[in-house]
A and B are shown apart, each in its own frame.
Chain A
Amino acid sequence: MLWRVRHVTTYRYAETVDMATHMLHLTPRALPYQRVLEECVACEPEPARMTQGGDHFGNRVTWLSIDRPHDRFEVTAEAVVDCAFPPPPPEEDTPAWESVAAAPTPDVAEFTFASPMLPESGAARDYAAPSFPPGRSILAGLLDLNARIGRDFAFRAGVTGISTPVSQVLAQRAGVCQDFTHLMLNGLRGLGLPARYVSGYIRTRPPPGGVARRGADQSHAWVSAWLGPRHGWLDLDPTNNVVVAEEHLVLGWGRDFSDVSPLRGIILGGGRHWLDVAVDLTPA
């Protein structure tokens, strides 16, 4: 599937900002199943300096600094990406979940530990456990958990923020993509299963005859879970109860949101500010 994505982030400030530095995770990373054909990040006002590089997880990062006074800041990230997620293996081909938990390889072990936004949570583990009875295949367990989250939780914007803890999501049984992703990660890691947070986009406007997907017209997030050394990683979207296939595009991944926040910044001045995000994902 060939996608064109345009992601515009606009900050308006009540008072003038004298200086600003920003760190962006807005450029899609290249993957065996994702080719980045074009990409470009532009910023208004013109930054004094803009550099690009990689982070610990291999994601693409842009750093920029603005040293002229401004009361509006707009970043436009555009990309053309060819994306073809491999299909999941047959359920019965995947190993028992216990064997996956028992022997994570060094390259995936990082995603079994607690992370800044996801400290160990007995409640999240207890929520996930019924999907993993003894001996069940890892994929069967993941699909079950993915479906249960879709059933048990209401998609409701505005009831959570970017720092809402999983315990609160569990209590109110509602949230947005980031909350469901965090809950699922927290539960899987509680069982010793490697799982990572994927930041990206989903097509929300359905093709003719298709099903409309839940998700803000903004950034999206989902889970990548490890099926063992033979099958590697598989992406699952608990918000929409699907295995990621045709409608998603990956920006990058980390342990939780804090590793791949699309835009961070430190500004001097500014007073109150208003944020506007618009994402346009269309088949190219």
Chain B
Amino acid sequence: MHTPRDEMVDGNGRVRPHWRGVLAGFADLPPGGIEACARRMERAFEDEGVTSLLPGEAPAAGQASWRCDPVPLVLPADEFAALSAGLAQRARLLEALLADLYGPQALLAEGLIPPALVFNNPGFLRPCRDASQGWVRHPFLHCYAADLLRGPDGLWRVVADRTSRAGGIGHAQENRRMLGRVLPAAFRGYQVRPLRPFFDVWQDALQRLAPPRDADGSGDGPAIALLTPGVNHRLWFEHVLLARELSCALVEPNDLSVRNGAVFVKTLKGLQPVDVLLRRVAGPGLDPLEFDHAVGGVPGLLDAARHGTVKLANEPGGGVVEAAGLTALLPALCRRLLGEDLLLPQAETLWLADPLALGRVLDDLTGWIIRPATGRGRSQVPALMDLAERAELAARIEARPADYAASAAVPSSVAPCVVGDRLAPRPVRLRMFLMQDGARWHTLPGGLARVEDADGTTAKDVWVLNEEDSRITGPVAQPQQPLSIRRSAGDLPSRAADNLFWLGRYVERLEGAARLIRATLTRLDRGPLLPREVAELQALAQCLSHCGLAAVEDQPSGGATAALRAALLRSVAEGGVVAGLFAQVARLIGSVRDRLTADMYATFTLPLRGLRAVASQARELEALEAAMGGVLRYTASVAGVAAENMVRAGGYTFLDLGRRVERAQSVAAQLHFALAQPPSRIEGGLRLALELCDSVITYRSRYLGVLQPAPALDLVLADPGNPRGLGFQLHALHRLLTELAEGTQSDLADAAARLISEVEAMPGIVLSSQDGQAAATGALSPSLGRIEDEVASLSDAVTRRYFALLPLAQALGGQSDGEALDGNGVAEGLPADLPAFV
């Protein structure tokens, strides 16, 4: 076997010229500097919450964190130009091939493509073809990516094509951004081509893809959206980055609706048209009407695409040409379709249905990588197998040779990577990205390099050096229609509003739980309790059981509090209520990731991870108290950061609405329990009420030490200036609901106004009571319980009004009643993610 080529050092042990600058930069670092640099890089990714896997990596147990090596892979300008030209030709070839496979299928009729490679290929999506060729799709491929490696002979070879969704470009951009942040100043002057101009051209190209809109369309330019499978997809983070980079909306299938053949995104203000969907959802997940019902999607989306009212980029079905069996034919097809030879070689690939090819491969299995001929299953590397495994593989191949293809096992070149405090050579592969603007293909001057070693996979940034005296050209200026000024929340997708509302609720619920637990702990700490304190503790225990933090049987009886103590510790342990709240908050933050700046995201997520760990390990009350203190500091910083950074009319309205609803409910409930006391104990109830509303200090400063019902109730119920009181929450609800109505009459705001007047009247009722203030205070308790319920109804009404929960979709199948056409419909088993490098 040949020695792998070294990217940095030539055969005579000399550093290649284009590496000298990079190497010099690292050489200038003090001892330990390289390692420190790698650590800073790791921390930078952690701070951003970038924990998703690299594209192509099999999901391991839990989430592997993203690693990026600080040493880039360097490509000189001429090498990049050659790669660029070769890949652009390959993209043209694949485009022509797809146009034929989804069109006239002349290549099949001519016998140039064996039918099995198309018709027995799960990537060939029949619903995307009309035999009468009434479906015009140009371009079929809008973006394209290729995986490459450089062999011992110094030649780059393509080892895989990515024609379906071409993922990973967001990761490449992120690597560059992080590297810029942590690399020493020595690199600042380095002549590396920036990535941003590529995205500008891309943005522009997406605009041009838009189909012409009817005259009644809005006056703004075309609406572009990135269609993602959603927050649970492991490339979600990349989708967020890409949408941001391309300044387009990020939508999920459930956000879209097809009406009268046109595609719309559901927003708070109704349906907004969409012209171009940059597709990151697998083809079979696009339209449940035409593909597998069970996968979901947007009913009618394919019909809209077929009639040209929306442009899908890439067109669905492109994955068919990723099959290794077809790769084997590309050199011949290039001559037939383009009249050219492949400019850029590919790793020699053979379809094993050919007996000659089969013989060659079986002769020396170790020289090949075995791949499925059509499906997207795993590649197998015979060189890494023992004799028995190899024999077994050979038997499987001989039984069904047409199911397999083989690619020559070419050793990758090696590039320097940080290992400890030094650089060591590691095998490296490269993914490059292309996009066409209608006239020509553009290559991202960079890419995603990957290094695999015993520790797993590490990414590398790719630096393309500027040619001497070359100019960086930006995109051609496109005349854009002036945007109309908007200040409303109307364009917020309903799903995003829904998630923000619940994020607000859950953060507040977490805070409420922490306050209750802390108030309980201070009493449990005190040793023997006075009768007054026992009554307070009982009221607290009722509050705790009301929100599920303790059970009814955990109530303290007399001075016995062991059960309550145990319940509090249980609530923060794995599976407990507080642990559940942490998980909900984390999930919701992930789902609104695209609405938060990187700094906000870091503020929301970083402390949360630590808090969850500390809380779940609390085994005694001191630790629990400390953890709850941490929770309160966390929720305060979330509220503060949100209030200072989020535009009011946007998602913030819903975040705040959720918080106010939750706090109004919990304050009403807590006062309901605190005030449910006989007249003799009402003073204890009021003291607890002030404490739960964090109003002890304010009360003392206003009224000195004298505790009386009417002033205390005024502070916790009516005072619109007390941010912990009930009145404040209701006023805020009224204001937010009025804003959302945007000048129209709002029955929701009216409902909030009624609650305000009822609550504001309460101190007056107590003051003028004939039966004495203490008794009148106790009599308020049931009303407060009712107010809690009414706020809950108001929350339900908000949900119905703004989040537009659609009824459940179901599928109708055909002949028999009640039975949905079964799930194994069409194109089964295409994994939603990216396959591994071969």
Contact = CB atoms under 8 A, between A and B. Distances in A.
Contacts of B260: 48-49, 65, 67
Contact of B120 (A113, A117, A263): A113
Contact of B116 (A49, A113, A116, A259): A113
A68 to B, nearest CB: 12
A221 to B, nearest CB: 9
Contacts of A107: 108-109
A254 to B, nearest CB: 9
Interface in A101-121: 104, 106-107, 109-110, 113-114, 116-117
Contact of A163 (B120, B808, B822): B822
Contact of B303 (A63, A67, A219, A275): A63
A113 B119 contact: yes
A257 B814 contact: yes
A242 to B, nearest CB: 22
Contact of B825 (A49, A106, A116, A178): A116
Main secondary structure of the interface of A (DSSP, over half): mixed
Interface in A156-215: 161-163, 178
Given A21-B289, A51-B307, A106 B261 contact: no
A275 B816 contact: yes
Interface string B797-817: 000000000111111111111
A21 B812 contact: no
Given A219-B815, A264-B814, A162 B306 contact: no
B299 A56 contact: no
B536 interface: no
B527 interface: no
Contacts of A110: 115, 119
B303 A51 contact: yes
Interface stretch (B24-32, B128-136, B171-179, B191-199): B128-136
A53 B120 CA distance: 25
Interface string A76-91: 0000000000000000
A276 B810 CA distance: 18
A241 interface: no
Given A113-B120, A264-B289, A266-B288, A258 B806 contact: no
A23 B293 CA distance: 13
A131 interface: no
A67 B300 CA distance: 12
Interface string A260-284: 0111111111101111010000000
A261 B120 CA distance: 21
Nearest to A218: B815
B810 A117 contact: no
A219 B818 CA distance: 17
Given A116-B825, A161-B816, A265-B812, A56 B127 contact: yes
B218 interface: no
Q: Which of A23, A51, A262, A272 has the most CB of B within 10 A?
A: A23
A166 to B, nearest CB: 13
B817 A274 contact: yes
A162 B120 contact: no
B247 interface: no
Interface in A1-49: 11, 15, 18, 21-23, 48-49
B115 A56 contact: no
Main DSSP-derived SS at the B contact region:
loop
Contacts of A265: 289, 811-812
B261 A51 contact: yes
A43 to B, nearest CB: 14
A174 to B, nearest CB: 16
A135 interface: no
B582 to A, nearest CB: 35
A63 B135 CA distance: 15
A126 interface: no
Contacts of B553: none
A58 interface: yes
Contact of B129 (A56, A67, A161, A262): A56
A258 B134 CA distance: 22
Given A21-B258, A23-B289, A163-B821, A261 B130 contact: no
A264 B290 CA distance: 8
Contact of A162 (B115, B300, B806, B819): B819
A65 B810 contact: no
Contacts of B306: 53
A162 B821 contact: yes
Q: How large is the interface on A (under 10, 10 to 19, 20 to 34, 35 or more residues)?
A: 35 or more
B271 to A, nearest CB: 11
Contacts of B115: 104, 106, 109-110
Nearest to A117: B824
Contacts of A117: 822, 824
A215 to B, nearest CB: 12
B826 interface: yes
Contact of A53 (B109, B126, B130, B289): B130
A273 B526 CA distance: 64
A258 B291 CA distance: 10
Contacts of A15: 807
Contacts of A257: 814
A116 B812 contact: no
A58 B132 contact: yes
Most interface-central of B116, B306, B813 (chain A CB within 10 A): B813
Nearest to B807: A269
A163 B812 contact: no
Contacts of B307: 51
Contacts of B299: 21, 266
A283 to B, nearest CB: 25
A18 B120 contact: no
Contact of B810 (A51, A57, A218, A267): A267
A117 B292 CA distance: 12
A55 interface: yes
A122 interface: no
Nearest to B130: A54
A268 B111 CA distance: 46
Given A67-B260, A162-B819, A263 B814 contact: yes
Given A55-B127, A58-B132, A264 B821 contact: yes
B259 interface: yes
26 contacts: A21-B299, A49-B260, A49-B261, A53-B134, A53-B135, A54-B132, A55-B127, A56-B126, A56-B130, A58-B131, A63-B303, A65-B260, A106-B109, A106-B115, A113-B116, A113-B119, A116-B825, A117-B822, A161-B816, A162-B819, A163-B821, A264-B289, A264-B821, A266-B809, A266-B811, A267-B812
Interface of A: 11, 15, 18, 21-23, 48-49, 51, 53-58, 63, 65, 67, 104, 106-107, 109-110, 113-114, 116-117, 161-163, 178, 218-219, 257-259, 261-270, 272-275, 277
Given A55-B129, A56-B129, A162-B819, 20 more contacts: A11-B812, A18-B806, A48-B260, A51-B261, A51-B303, A54-B130, A55-B130, A58-B131, A67-B259, A109-B116, A110-B119, A114-B120, A163-B822, A259-B126, A266-B299, A267-B809, A267-B810, A268-B806, A269-B807, A269-B808
Nearest 7 pairs between A and B by C-beta?
A163-B822, A109-B115, A269-B807, A265-B812, A266-B299, A261-B814, A54-B132
Interface of B: 108-109, 111, 115-116, 119-120, 126-127, 129-132, 134-135, 258-261, 288-290, 293, 299-300, 303, 306-307, 806-819, 821-822, 824-826, 828
